[in-house]
Structure 1
Amino acid sequence: MTMTDMKDCDQFVAEFEAVIKHPKKSATETYYTGVDLGTACIVLAVMDENYTPVAGAYRYADVVRDGMVVDYIGAIQIVKELKTELEEKLETELIYAAAAIPPGTDELDGGAIKNVVQGAGFYLTNVLDEPTAANQVLAIQNGAVVDIGGGTTGISIIKDGKVVKVVDDATGGTHLTLVTAGAYKISFQEAELYKRDQKNHQELIGVLKPVVEKIATIIMTQIAGFEIEELYLVGGTACLTGIETIIEAKTRIKTYKPLNPMFVTPLGIALSCTDEIL
């Protein structure tokens, strides 16, 4: 990937951020929705039939843990509410959606994610793993996409544009929150909010460095045996300022991060949505 490609990714994310604030009604008849059920945040990204972002909404929630749906009814309710909110803004019904799951959890949880999306009133058209979804936006040909979510870190190794290995590890933002809570002697909820606030990042990065280095070690273990020259960080936890510097120093691999890594995966999921029901 060149820096130009990274600019394309950043521009695409910026377009999405703009339509979250000001949705764009389109002349299109069909809309495609990406549903990203994260551990800390649920995001819906909507595109028109030309796959241009037209609307989006997100809500912080505690219905998924370590990549698994733990509050099934709550998850359906939130997706349904976000769907209704976007339908009112776009003055149309959103019919088709795609979803994503952490790598390797299809047997365990693929069904639950499908049921949440369908339970919220969508026709489900695709389910793919999160780092592979992110690469729909990044469009890298060679390297590793590292999706650092709240509960898990998913790694997708890409060679000549094809995914050759995809794995998931149960380390993510939750662990950073636990360390923050311990260091500041505050509750988990308070630590989560403290960690999300960008103005605290400079001070937090020193406290959280050991956990970030653990994530870097996981990456190195999973990519062993592959020639990886570039890492690309996405996911809500990758929003932590300076996380890429620590990972690059530990892995000794050039590490890139989009301007807002939280929205790359949901946009990739939306790009994977079609009008052909599963």
Structure 2
Amino acid sequence: MNNKINYTNEKLTSFASVVNGKLPIRKVSKNETLKIGVDLGTSSIVVTVIDKDNNPIYGAYEYANTVQDGIVVNYLESVEILQRLKQKVERVLGRKLTTACGAIPPGTGESSARIVANVIEATGMDCFQVVDEPTAAGLFLEVEDGTVIDIGGGTTGLSIFKHGTLLKSIDEPTGGTHMTLVLAGNRKIPYVEAELLKKNKSRENEVFPIIRPVVEKMASIAKNAFDKDIVLPVYVVGGSTNFKEFENAFEKVLKVDVIKPKYPQYVTPLGIAMYDNAGE
């Protein structure tokens, strides 16, 4: 287990360094197979690129408010942002992006998946598959037995695996947005100001005690989904988990150890790209 998570953390650290401009981007050959993931999140839209062996190559993101609780609510702006990101990636890699896989929270339905596919295809890429987010995260983490809890801006998604088979996948509308709302109410400040405060790492010690009840609610959602048996290990991923006390809050509710990979915000986007097999 330690070797597996260490390897995963190395991949995530390398990818984050490339995205943040701290490592050079490797050259991509003209005929090389590329796999693309598109994550239309509540707070940002992310495009990830991996090779045929699922090694991360490049990624780009832009903050957005086009999705609420996992549902696209501003179609045109989603297309415009994704088009900009696609053009940026194509400039950097010197290659056209032709296919991409999208994702939705569990249980949001076929119509939601169709809208995500439409957004992707409106930018000139073919979308042959739309997966649920925690299952995509589980693929990147190589989970055979275990539970993946994906906490995004608007929702908490959970997938339970046993012997490589998905047993259960659920989603509840509690996420980073709700943290921000609680913080805004507590401090009596506008939502935008509260969002910036929440993301300020130097203020984390004063912010987390305020939003901790929201985190504990997320953990309770997970605990109720387990029924009687918790399938271990338990992973938490997603941008909303980026607090140093996050695992501790979850563990106190679940009564089991919780694993949070490095750069948890990139786990699901990279897993989504792994489902883009159209080029193979």
- Residues 1-278 of structure 1: pairs in structure 2 closer than 5 A: 2-20=1-19, 21=21, 22-27=24-29, 28-275=31-278
State the Cα distance separating 1:276 from its structure 2 match. Answer: 5.7
CA contact (8 A) 2:16 2:263 kept: no
Aligned amino acid, residue 175 of structure 1 = H
Contact 2:162 2:231 survives alignment (8 Å): no
Letter in 2 for 1:55: Y
Aligned-partner Cα distance in 2 for 1:229–1:30: 34
Q: 1:61 is matched by which residue type in structure 2?
A: A
Which amino acid in 2 is paired with 1:50? Answer: D
Shift of the 229–92 alpha-carbon distance from structure 1 to 2, 3 Å rule, reads closer
Indicate the SS of the match to 1:233: strand
Query: Structure 1: which 4+ aligned runs deviate by more than 4 Å?
Result: none
The one-letter amino acid of 1:168's match is D
% of aligned pairs identical? 39
CA deviations 1:181-221 (Å, max 9, x no partner) are 11111111111111112222222111111111111111111
Q: Number of matched residues? A: 276
CA RMSD, Structure 1 to Structure 2 (Å): 1.4
Contact 2:102 2:130 in 1 (8 A): yes
Question: TM-score by structure 1 length?
Answer: 0.95
C-alpha distance in structure 2 between counterparts of 1:187 and 1:199, whole Å: 20
What code does the residue aligned with 1:140 have? V
Is the CA contact (8 Å cut-off) linking 1:23 and 1:56 kept in structure 2? no
Secondary structure at the aligned position of 1:158 is classed as: strand
Tell me by how many angstroms 1:266 deviates: 0.4
Task: Note the alpha carbon deviations across 1:14-55, whole angstroms, 9 max, x for none.
Answer: 121122223322225332110011101111101123322211
Query: 1-side partners of 2:240 and 2:100: how far apart?
Result: 24
Change (3 A) 1:141 1:48: closer
CA-to-aligned-CA distance 1:74-115 (integer Å, 9 cap, x gap):
001111100000100111101111111100112341111010
Q: Is the 8 A contact 1:205 1:241 kept in 2?
A: no
| Equivalent-residue separation in structure 1 for 2:112 and 2:250 (angstroms) | 29
Aligned equivalents of 1:78, 1:104: Cα separation in 2 = 25
User: Counterpart of 2:192 in 1: which secondary structure?
Assistant: helix
- Segments of 5+ residues of structure 1 without an aligned counterpart are none
CA distance in 2, matches of 1:216, 1:140: 20
